[in-house]
Amino acid sequence: MIDLIEKSLLTGLGALALTQQKAEELAAELKRKLNLGEEKGQELLKLLTDTARSNQRKLEEIAREEVRRACADIGLVNKEELNRLVKKIQHLEKELGKLRRAEKNDSPSAC
């Protein structure tokens, strides 16, 4: 019976990320209602917090991927691309400065 309740509870949690406090409160309530011993209560709490952490990581990854897609759809560059472009601009500015200095040195002096 406890397995069925655990499975139902975990299914109900879905993508919900519980805080440690909420998980502890829920485990304490279930422990009280189901007359679980301390050990079973701790097992249930660990199961709830582990599941919540796992679901939170999955949610975060889904959110990151959606943000990446949205940025790509509207044409925004990512951080790595921006850094690459900044370095390229800095290199081109340095080269342009060299060319301008060489041009000044090659130009005839005014009399």
In this prediction, residue 85 carries a pLDDT of 96
What are all long-range contacts of 73-82, with beta carbons under 8 Å and residues at least 24 apart? none
In this prediction, residue 111 carries a pLDDT of 52
pTM exceeds 0.75 for this model: no
E strands present in 1-111:
none
Alpha carbon of 62 to those of 15, 22, 55, 69, 78: distances in Å?
11, 23, 10, 11, 17
In this prediction, residue 89 carries a pLDDT of 98
Higher pLDDT, 49 or 21: 49
pLDDT in tens, 23-42: 777 777 777 777 777 787 77
Q: Where are the domains of the chain?
A: 2-75, 77-106
Q: How far apart are CA 2 and CA 8, in angstroms?
A: 10
